[in-house]
Structure 1
Amino acid sequence: MNKPAIVKPCNEKTFQQGNVYCRYDSDDVSVFAPEMLNGDYWQAKNAIVGSAQGRGTTWFIATENAAGILQNWVLRHYYRGGLIGKVVNDHYIYTGIEKTRSAREFDLLKTMRALDLPAPKPIAFRVSKHGLFYRADLLSSRIQNATDLVGILSKQEIDEQLWQKIGQVIKTFHQQGIYHHDLNAHNILIDDKDKVWLIDFDQGEQRNNQIKWPEKNMARLLRSFRKESHKITDFQWREKNWQALLNGYQS
């Protein structure tokens, strides 16, 4: 595989106050406040332009920078899944800033952008410590004029060429050792120019080997297509589409 990327330097700055630690890209955020990692902050500014529901609410934000340029961002709070999530909800054991969920995803997004991979740009993250635990938030760029693959297939088919392109894009991530912990049909976006993007890299990482995990990544994606096809009436996916995707991945 290719060697791990050397991340290009950016104008990254740190904010720390009490039990709150943040990092942000000052090219995108000229005046930073930790409250920018709260949904309430943007609601008060009437900057919320949409939302999506998963384990929690993901907020879509439209705001102007100091130069009057419109910025479109996504704000996500980290929630636990599974049975443990019903007990501790959004608290994680703290073992150092660099091991927190938000710091790891921020750094991975930074690495992928340096590799010119089609993934969101990291804007800022926050970690709030509470004794032995922490809570986390991430602000990243929003992919413009894009729809997730489940949303598209709920309404229409896509052609074989686009299925192949999806496979080719996933391959480019795997060739760079990018492991996506939750590769599923919701985390694949297609924009209005048919460009394919991957999002939501929580618990992802760049790995030095490609033994077994790419195969497991692809098996997880196949399970997600089959799951959605049973959940959604007239979901426009067939097994032959998976073969087209594989043809692109293997090309």
Structure 2
Amino acid sequence: MSHIMQLETFKDGNTCCLFNRNEIEDFTPEMLSVKYWQKNNAITGSAQGRGTTWFLQYKQKNNTQPKDWVLRHYYRGGLIGKIVNDSYFFTSLKHTRADREFSLLAHMQTLTLPAPKPIAYRVIRHGLLYRADLLSSRIENAQDLVAILTKKSINDDLWFSIGETIRRFHSQGIYHHDLNAHNILIDDKNKVWLIDFDQGELRAVNSSWQQNNMQRLLRSFHKEQNKSPNFNWHENHWDALLSGYNR
């Protein structure tokens, strides 16, 4: 299967977009707006995080199978996020959150890593600041690990697969800035996926950042365990995950 993408740019005034022509035929910048999809009755769901993540269904004009997408607006976190919310200083297009995540997702497609396909992004400049949005593919028939473990436990083979999958990313130098249990998905075929690569980047392969990444994941399991007595996670599950990671 070819993973070469046909990328095209769109510029209009203070708006700049990049889109994947392999995935989208009739691109318009409005597709990076929730209002566009509401108008077309194409919103299939949403999820709350730092902001609202919207699930959409794109229907092509040639009546092929509809595509499920995810639309996310970039929001700041931490204390500064309470002040400026969704604005970032603009230095160049290549340094925007949207372009960096889109480029990383595109690179991971060439490596056939289990991550979403990039569809399009939009950057809108306002003087020295910008706001941005990203469209990516939705992983079919998948749930995040927290949702799954809140309902049931999973076996050691699947924990092994989770560790093995993370190792695939790390061995290619893929740094996931926010590796936590919410950003690990498992589909109905028990395939493991990683999502949400905002602020992720390519790094030299070494054990320092990799181990820090894994410790961040371990803290997220402890956090979810403390939040819910029904969360099906124990330390021995971490051992099974590490056995896959270190195989």
Q: TM-score, normalized by length of structure 2?
A: 0.97
Amino acid at match of 1:51: S
Counting only pairs closer than 5 Å after superposition, residues 1-251 of structure 1 correspond to structure 2 as 9-68=4-63, 69-251=65-247
Distance 1:210 1:201 in 2: 19
In the alignment, structure 2 segments of 5+ residues that lack a partner are none
Question: By how many angstroms is 1:211 displaced?
Answer: 4.3
Distance 1:213 1:165 in 2: 21
Question: By how many angstroms is 1:66 displaced?
Answer: 2.3
Question: By how many angstroms is 1:29 displaced?
Answer: 1.2
Distance 1:95 1:215 in 2: 31
Q: What's the secondary structure of 1:119's corresponding residue?
A: coil
Distance 1:120 1:208 in 2: 22
Question: By how many angstroms is 1:8 displaced?
Answer: 5.7
Amino acid at match of 2:93: I
Question: By how many angstroms is 1:28 displaced?
Answer: 1.3
Question: By how many angstroms is 1:86 displaced?
Answer: 0.2
Given that 2:146 and 2:224 are in contact with CA atoms closer than 8 Å, whether structure 1 keeps it comes out as yes
Q: What's the secondary structure of 1:212's corresponding residue?
A: helix
Question: By how many angstroms is 1:34 displaced?
Answer: 0.5
Identity level (%) = 59
Distance 2:237 2:204 in 1: 30
Amino acid at match of 1:111: H
CA displacement, residues 45-97 of structure 1 (integer Å, 9 cap, x when unaligned):
11000000011100000121122221100000000000000000000000100
Number of equivalences: 245
Q: What's the secondary structure of 1:49's corresponding residue?
A: strand
Q: TM-score, normalized by length of structure 1?
A: 0.96
Distance 1:8 1:247 in 2: 31
In the alignment, structure 1 segments of 5+ residues that lack a partner are 1-6
| Other-structure match for 1:3 | none
Amino acid at match of 2:233: W
Distance 2:191 2:205 in 1: 27
Distance 2:120 2:209 in 1: 29
